[in-house]
Structure 1
Amino acid sequence: MLLEAVLGACADAGIDPQEVDGFATYGEGHDEAPTLANSLGIKDFRFSVISSGGGGGIAGAIAAASAAVYSGIAENVIVFRALAEAESGRQEFVRYHFTSLYRAHGVVSAVQSGALKTQRMLEHEGVPREAMENFVRAAYFHASRNPEALSYGRPLAAHSYRESRMIADPHRVFDCSREADGAFAVLVTTAERAEKLSGVPAYIVATAQSGYGEDSGNFDPYVTSGFGGAADRLWADSGYGPGDIDVAQVYENTSGPAVLALIDHGFTTFADAGDFFTFENLTAPGGGLPVNTAGGNVAAGFVHGMGLVVEAVRQVRGTSVNQVPDAKLSLFIAGPQAQLTGSVLLGTSAAI
């Protein structure tokens, strides 16, 4: 699957796979860049990096790839992630993400750890439960129109969401990501070269990362998605703000941290979350901020969030199945409440 994804990315850009000279990935996968380079017949292998932090490492991998290209270390870097559930190690999630501080109390999965701050967000900060419901229903609406999604043709009704079984309060089964086999790859190269390749390029406007840590989770403020100053740095470095963004893709192991990430990026406040997180506002083509327009992890399928990056690119290129009209700025938010969080802002040529 990974080889097919890389070959597809190269074909889309119109380059020979042997021109690829670097790789960047993240998480705890077993795909080693030298093996991948040998399989592709790459003659000049110049760069390789694996970003840590689970799904939050996606932004780090993209940032590393862009830094390598910008500095001249490499010219054509593939950012990738592939998962085959039976072999990927995802079923051993507890082993490499949760220490005894969590395990001693039965917290052994992202749906449980994410529920702690999500419940506090609802009770103490006053965010309505409907914010999560509408976020999820928007993702399922988009997935129902996406032939590549696991939920293609199956939108989610409000009563179906509310009647679904509870997994870790307040997360119901539809709040949870859907593990899947798959692979995604994107090519990062210079802006100058991208203009000469086939297809419409998506430009990396800015990236930002923040270390968070999942060993204890007791931070001030407690109700946080873990981005710290990353969101502020993203806006400062890019010269844009939340009001400029046309569409957003938000990583979600579960919906609660994704809702919180949008709040932490300044799209709304705790007090106004009920007005912002409506089904109409979150759906394409006419919503104020359509989110997860291919379905996201919860409705399209979880390949460690990499599908969200591809959809962010498609929105800039104008090729999404749920295209936002005249989208110039497309935001990707990686791994809320993971050990490493980060965001990537993509744009059209008019945005840089």
Structure 2
Amino acid sequence: MSHERTLRGRVAVVGVGESEYFKFGRSPHPEFKLVLQAVLAACRDAGVDPSDIDGFASFGEDRNDAVRLATALGVKRMRSTTMQWGGGGGGCAAAVANGAAAINAGMAQCLVVYRGLAQGQFGRFGQAASRSTVSGDMAYQMPYGVMAPPQKFALRVQRFLHEHRVEREALRAVALASNLHAQANPRAVMYAKPLTAEAYDDSRWIVEPFRLFDCCMENDGAAALILVAAEKARDFACPPVYLLGAASGAEWRAGATPHNAPVYASANYSSIADDLYEMARVGPAEVGSVQAYENFTGGVLMSLCEHGFFKPDEINDFMTLENLSAPAGKLPLNTSGGNLGEVYLQGFELVLEAARQVRGESTSQARNSDVALVTGGPMVSPASSLIFGSEATL
């Protein structure tokens, strides 16, 4: 019996699905119903009877309880439920890893990973919520007026841009690439709403260095995927997408004094990326497309650097719309539109898009479809990443 600590090639995605995506407050359905719609769509894609699901995995403090979902879906027997703690969108790849680990350990046979988010129903992430008490890192921030996510992450990004002399054009390229790919994706909230360089430059400041189009959207929707053991993957309706590698975690002293971390201008991926590539047995050169979590455009630059696609002093040359565009760019980025253009589901739509890239079904297909990488939640802890691959990569 092998004791190698790996999930490489042992679990496959056999179905993906989503609800309709809405701008926050526009969904006619409650969050729970959106999740059910996404799960049922993933089951149809895989050719799976929903009652045969026996495992659930999510992240980001998802409110949609697995037992309640199982009851609504008619699940005959539930064997496994996992929730990735902390990190918000940093858990989007880790949730898949947790579900894959349950499959690999024999704790479940047909598992759904999902994320539902109805900001119109439960409140916007982009606004500071009212609080009667403050604890944790916010206790160090709120007394000084740092209350909303753009303020919090702007500090780290501003330090990174200053240290490496990054020009605003690099941030703009991320926003333009995401929007460009959204124009080919009818699911995207920004579909038929093209963004020009001029409109980006003229958009209002949110908090320096972020203008409006540097910031992710606020949306209502849900997405889901179905995992099974690799040896069963060919029995389903769609081509299997294999998990090559996954990693999550946090840097040393990540939870110490906020805004005083030992490595401040970081997306927190340096050790995660090492573990990811070691398990996947591929490197940055083999990756055909990247779905990089854009809470803010600056986090994408940091993420790509820490995953080895270029060095910080190469950012200004590499980060151009041409290089980031499918199909022929050097590194097609956020090919469904991502958090900036398709939908903000704390990054889970990025995971579905990576699977679609490997299946050859993206609306903006990359030239190399065999290997797709996802980064989740830059500048949060714990963060996570994963790599999907086709059968040819095994």
Instruction: Name the TM tier (shorter chain).
Output: over 0.9
> Number of aligned pairs?
352
CA contact under 8 A between 2:217 and 2:343: conserved in structure 1? yes
Deviation at 1:222, TM superposition (A): 1.7
Report the counterpart of residue 341 of structure 1 in structure 2.
Answer: 383
Structure 1 unaligned residues grouped into runs of 5+: none
CA 1:326–1:263 in structure 2 vs 1: closer, same or farther (change >3 Å)?
Answer: closer
Q: How far apart are residue 110 of structure 1 and its match?
A: 1.8
Give deviations 1:43-70, integer Å, cap 9, x for gaps: 1100001112200011221111000001
**Comparing 284-293 and 119-128, the one that deviates more:** 119-128
In the TM superposition, 1:52-67 aligns within 5 A as: 52=85, 53-67=87-101
- Cα root mean square deviation, aligned: 1.6
- Identity among equivalent positions (%) equals 38
Task: Identify the match of residue 69 of structure 2 among 10, 31, 36.
Answer: 36
Maintained 8 Å contact 1:29/1:88: no
Alignment partner, residue 100 of structure 1: 139
Corresponding residue number in structure 1 for 2:289: 247
Higher mean displacement: 127-136 or 62-71: 127-136
> Following superposition of structure 1 onto structure 2, how do residues 186-201 of structure 1 map, counting pairs within 5 Å?
186-201=225-240
Q: Output aligned runs, 1:1-352, within 5 Å.
A: 1-52=34-85, 53-91=87-125, 98-212=137-251, 213=254, 216-352=258-394
State how far apart, in whole Å, the 2-side matches of 1:235 and 1:115 are: 29
| Structure 1 residues 341 and 97: alpha-carbon distance in aligned structure 2, compared to 1, 3 A threshold | farther
Are residues 197 and 97 of structure 1, via their aligned partners in 2, closer, same or farther at CA, if it must alter by over 3 Å? farther
For the residues of structure 1 that align with 2:121 and 2:91, how far apart are their CA atoms? 20
Bigger mean CA deviation after superposition, 112-121 or 280-289: 112-121
Secondary structure in structure 2 of the residue aligned to 1:302 = coil
* Cα deviation, residue 93, structure 1: 5.8
Report the alpha carbon displacement of residue 188 of structure 1 after superposing the two structures with TM. 1.0
Q: Which amino acid aligns with 2:315?
A: A
- In structure 2, the gaps of 5 or more residues are 1-33
Partners in 2 of 1:97 and 1:260 — Cα distance?
Answer: 25
Cα-to-partner distance string for 1:21-64 (whole Å, 9 max, x where unaligned): 01000012211000000001111100001112200011221111
Give the aligned residue type for 1:72.
G
Task: Report the alpha carbon displacement of residue 242 of structure 1 after superposing the two structures with TM.
Answer: 0.8
What SS class does the counterpart of residue 167 from structure 1 fall into? strand
1:292-351 CA distance string (max 9 Å, x none) = 001010111212211111111100000010011341000000000112101000010011
CA distance in 1: counterparts of 2:230 and 2:167, whole angstroms: 43
Q: Give the secondary structure class of the aligned counterpart of 2:116.
A: strand
Counterpart CA distance in 2 for 1:86 and 1:161 is 26
State the shift of 1:228 in Å.
3.5
Q: Whole-Å Cα distance in 1 between the matches of residues 70 and 136 of structure 2?
A: 29
Q: Secondary structure at the match of 2:78?
A: coil
Distance in 1 separating the partners of 2:249 and 2:124: 24
How far did residue 98 of structure 1 move?
Answer: 4.8
Give the letter for the 2:225 counterpart: V
SS in 1 for 2:320: coil
TM-score (norm 1): 0.96
Question: How much has 1:155 moved relative to structure 2?
Answer: 2.2
Q: Determine the C-alpha separation between the residues in 2 that align with 1:101 and 1:161.
A: 32
